[in-house]
Structure 1
Amino acid sequence: MRKSLLGLFLVLSFGCKNSSEENTSAITKKEITPEFKESISRGAGLYNNFCASCHLAGGEGIQGVFPPVKDSDWLKNKQKESIHAVKFGLKGPIKVNGVEYDNLMPALGLSNQEIADIMNYINNAWGNNFGETLTEEDVAAIEK
């Protein structure tokens, strides 16, 4: 009985991860500062709250409806436009990985720091390795 309770405890203790742990474990392995790691962690939570309902938890999107952010050529090649889309919303057609998308992405009312955190997360999650570390000041510099 004692062994089975210990086994159950170990399974429950080590078999469960919170969503923040899962999201940060998906980050591309590279040397990062503690500040960047914190930004990515905050970005993972923000992504799950504001972005995952359309772009999905794994960043794959829904083909023809909501573009992927995982392995996205648009995100990779258009960082300023991507920041602008998160900051101000996006309306009108775009082409991502050869597929056209023409859906409305509303502005979410996020702060510049929150946008930087989301961008740092999606630029480095799911195997992505896009762009430089973004700061609140970088996002503030993007104007409508």
Structure 2
Amino acid sequence: MNRSIYLLFVLVFFISCKKQEKSKQSKAEENAITVIKKTPLQESIAKGKSVYTNNCAQCHLPTGKGIPKIYPPLRKSNWLTKKRTESIHAVKYGLSGEITVNGQPYENVMTPMGLSDQEVADVLNYVMNMWGNKQEKMLTPEEVSNVDK
């Protein structure tokens, strides 16, 4: 009889442990799902980082600091934060002629990168929300497509 009670106790103990293990696993899975979810802006910024690295970092540098008197900074850039349409136009169609960024004149040529409207939106969402820049309104491919040459 004692042996039967002992075996019953062991069986109940193991079943209880399995339930706790499954409960912990379920909570871990729920947390993992929560971490994976991103806002549309976060997804665009993540894609934009790749576009920036492949197309923009050569001139504006990986840090967004640019090269003084040659390539304007994107870091804490008043051009990006105050000239939204002009920024879209520059990335989409290129830019030539003098511009003033953070009080400094720049006169160089930025060639068109040949990016899709989605890539333009993503890269601008990235640079407009990095290095001290902050935009409240997410840039969309539709907004990019509405900017004429």
Match 2:92 to one of 87, 90, 95: 87
- Indicate how the Cα distance of structure 1 residues 128 and 108 shifts in structure 2: closer, same or farther if over 3 A, else same: same
Whether contact under 8 Å (1:64, 1:100) holds in the other structure is: yes
How far apart, CA to CA, are the structure 2 residues paired with 1:90 and 1:66? 12
Verify the 8 A CA contact 1:44 1:118 in the aligned structure 2. yes
Task: Write the distance in 2 (CA, Å) between the matches of 1:77 and 1:120.
Answer: 14
Q: Distance in 1 between matches of 2:80 and 2:139?
A: 14
- Tell whether 2:69 aligns with 1:64: yes
Q: Does 1:55 align with 2:41?
A: no
| Contact 1:88–1:106 (Cα < 8 Å) also in 2 | yes
Greater relative contact order (Cα < 8 A, sep 6+): 1
| Matched length | 113
Give CA deviations for 1:33-52 in whole Å, capped at 9, x if unaligned: 52211110000000010000
CA distance, structure 2, for counterparts of residue 133 and residue 108 of structure 1:
21
> 4+ runs of 1 displaced by more than 3 Å?
none
Tell me the TM-score normalised to structure 1 length: 0.75
How is 1:1-144 mapped onto 2 (pairs within 5 angstroms)?
Answer: 34-144=39-149
Largest Rg, 1 or 2: 2
Matched AA of 1:125: M
Task: Tell me the percent identity.
Answer: 49
Q: Deviations over 1:79-98 (max 9, x none)?
A: 10000000000000001111
Question: How far apart in 2 are the matches of 1:84 and 1:131?
Answer: 19
Structure 2, gaps ≥5 residues long: 1-37
Structure 1 unaligned blocks of 5 or more = 1-32
Query: TM-score, with normalisation over the residues of structure 2?
Result: 0.73
Q: 1:11 maps to what in 2?
A: none
Secondary structure at 1:54 match in 2: helix
Amino acid at match of 2:70: V
